[in-house]
Amino acid sequence: MQGFDAIVVGAGPAGCACGYTLAKSGLKTLLVERGKFPGAKNMWGGVYYGPALNRLFPGFWEEAPVERYILRHRFSLLTQDSSFSAEFTSKRFSDPPYNSFSLLRSKFDRWFASKVEQAGAIVASGLQTDDLLWKGNQVTGIKAGGDELPSSVVVACDGVNSLLIEKAGLQKNSSPRDFKLGIKEVIQIPRNLIEQRFNLAGEEGIAWEFIGPFTRGLPGGAFIYTNKESLSLGIVVQLSALAKNNVRANDLLEEFKNHPAVESLLVDGQLVEYSSHLIPVSAKAMMPELFTDGFLVAGDAAAFLLATGLTLEGANFAIASGIAAAETVIRAKQIGDFSRNSLSDYLNLLKQSFVLKDLKTFKKAPHFLENPRLYRQYPELVCDLAEKIFTHQGRPRKKIWKQLRESMDGKISFWQIIRDLMRMKGAL
C-alpha cells in the first residue's frame, strides 16, 4: 500500500496549521481527528490573538466563524463584596486586522480543518489513533481503527494528554504542578442584553479577567468573554492545588458566578455547555523531547503555551509550531531523510521563532505565579485602600500613605512587597 508523506494526529490549531502547510506544498497528507468532527473534543477560554493565523489566512476574520472582535480588555481584583477594575481599549482594536477575537472552538476548528481539506489533505474524523508503526527505531505510520496507515513521518498534535509521546518513547518531564485546570460554561444570553450589560455595540466584544476570593487563595483566576449571543465564563486553577486542598473547581466557579460584580451579568442566562480542559503552564520546565526518527511533536502536546498571569496564550504557539513542523517535514521530504538527525531542523526553526524565544523569556513566570499573595493579599489590599479613598467616614481624612499602611497592617509587609516586585522583575 502506498503510504502518506505525513500523518498529522489531532485537528486542533497545531494539527490544522501543520496539515494545511504540508498539503499546500503538495505533500500527501492525512489529518486524523478522534472527535466526531474537528473541534468536538476541543475547548478553551475563548480569545484568540490573531498574528499566526493572519499570516496563514490574511483577513481570516472575513470567513472564519469568529464571534466578536475584542475592543476592551478589562481586569478586576475582587474581594467578597467589592471590586477594583482597570480597562484598556484602543481605537486600533476596532480596525482590521483587529487585535483579538472571541471564538468557539467547536465551530472554529471545523472551519480550520475544512481549509486543510481544501488544500488537498485527507481529513479523517472519528478516528482514534491507537498506536504507532515502527521499522527499527523509525516511526513509519499509525494504527487507527484497526487499520495500519503507513507514512514517512507522524506529527503528534494530539493535545495536552498526548498518548503518542509515550508511544514514541519520548521523555516526558511534567508533574501535577505543571497543569492548570480550566472549566467553562457557555451561557446563552440574548444579543441585546449582552450589548447593554457590557456596553458593547455591533461586533464589539470584551475580554474580562478576574482574580479574587473565589479561588480561595489557590493560584488561578476567572474570565468572562463575550460571544455573539453567549458568554464564555470560567475559571482556571492550578490542578495540584485543587487536589491538595480538597477543593472542587465547580464549587469555585459557582462562587465566582455568585459574586455581586458577576451575578447581575448572568440574569436570564441559560447554560448550554459545561466543558473542561487541562492547560500545560510550566512551558520550558515540562517540555517533552520534541522529535525522534520519523516523529515530531507540536502544540499543547509539546507544552507550547505562554502563561504570564494576565494572558494564557496557546493557539499562536500551536499554529506556529505546527507550521515549523510542516516546514521541517517538507525539507526532509526534499532530501529523502526522515531520521532524527534530519528532523532536528524543527528545533532550530522553533528557536528562531517566537515559540521558544517567548518561553525562554518567561521561563520564571510559572513559578512566580504560584505566589499565594497574588491571589489573596494583593486584591484585598487594593480594594481595601480604594474603599478608604472613595468613602467619607464623616471625620477628618488621613493621608493616603497612612491609609495604605493601615490596610497592610498584619496582612503584608513592605519587605514582602519589595521581594515580590523583585521576583516579578525576574519573571515578567
Smallest distance from other proteins to CB 115, Å: 18
CB of 80 to other proteins, least distance (A): 17
Work out whether 249 is an interface residue with other proteins (CB under 8 A).
yes
- Pairwise CA distance, residues 28 & 329, whole Å: 11
Per CB under 8 A, the list member of 250, 339, 352, 361 interacting with other proteins is 250
CB 5 within 8 A of CB 23: no
Beta bridge partners of 149: 142
Q: What is the DSSP string of 269-287?
A: -EEEEEEEEEEE--GGGG-
**Residue number with CB closer to other proteins (63 or 229):** 229
d(CA 202, CA 215): 34
Nearer to other proteins, 36 or 402 (CB): 36
* The only residue of 4, 20, 44, 362 in contact with other proteins, by rule CB under 8 A: 44
3-state secondary structure 179-217: EEEEEEEEEECCHHHHHHHCCCCCCEEEEEEEECHHHCC
First to last CA, the chain: 52
Q: Does 370 bind other proteins (CB under 8 A)?
A: no
Question: In terms of CB distance, is 276 or 413 closer to other proteins?
Answer: 276
User: How many residues of this chain bind other proteins (CB under 8 A)?
Assistant: 60
Stretch that binds other proteins, among 3-11, 35-43, 397-405, 416-424 (CB under 8 A): 35-43
Q: How far is the CB of 206 from other proteins (least distance, A)?
A: 18
- CA gap 361, 352 in Å, rounded: 13
Positions in 300-339 near other proteins (CB under 8 A) = none
Binds other proteins (CB under 8 A): choice among 263, 400, 413, 426:
263
Which residue lies nearer to other proteins by CB, 181 or 326?
181
Are 282 and 177 a contacting pair, CB within 8 Å? yes
Question: Which stretch of DSSP H or E encloses residue 76?
Answer: strand 66-78
Minimum Å distance from CB 127 to other proteins? 5
What is the distance between the alpha carbons of residues 130 and 144, in angstroms, rounded to a whole number? 5
Select 187 or 383, whichever has its Cβ closest to other proteins. 187
Of 160-168, 200-208, 392-400, 420-428, which segment contacts other proteins by CB under 8 A? Answer: 160-168
Strand partners for 112: none
> Three-class SS of residue 231?
strand
Could you say whether residue 13 binds other proteins (CB under 8 A)?
no
- Could you tell me whether strands 47-49 and 4-9 are parallel, antiparallel, or unpaired per DSSP bridges? unpaired
Q: Outline where 51-205 has alpha helix (H).
A: 51-56, 105-118, 164-167, 191-197
Task: With contacts defined by CB under 8 A, name the span among 77-85, 242-250, 407-415, 417-425 that binds other proteins.
Answer: 242-250
Residues 267-286 that bind other proteins (CB under 8 A): 267, 269, 271-278
Q: How far apart are CA 117 and CA 209, in angstroms?
A: 36
For residues 144 and 32, is the Cβ–Cβ distance under 8 A? yes
Beta strands in 227-310 (DSSP E): 230-238, 270-280, 291-292, 295-297, 306-307
Which is closer to other proteins, CB of 68 or CB of 105?
105
What does the per-residue mask of binding to other proteins show for 212-241, with x meaning CB under 8 A?
A: ------------------x-x------xx-
Spell out, one character per residue from 171 to 200, where the chain touches other proteins: x when CB under 8 A holds, - when not. Answer: ---x-x--x-x-x-xxx-------------
Cell numbers given for 20: 494545511
Does residue 205 contact residue 226 with C-beta atoms inside 8 Å?
Answer: yes
Q: By rule CB under 8 A, what string of x and - marks binding of each residue 98-127 to other proteins? A: ------xxxxxx---------------xxx
> 17: which 3 cell numbers?
496549521
User: Of 248 and 397, which has the nearer Cβ to other proteins?
Assistant: 248
The footprint of other proteins (CB under 8 A) covers 34-36, 39-44, 104-109, 125-128, 144-145, 160-161, 163, 174, 176, 179, 181, 183, 185-187, 230, 232, 239-240, 242-250, 254, 257-258, 263, 266-267, 269, 271-278
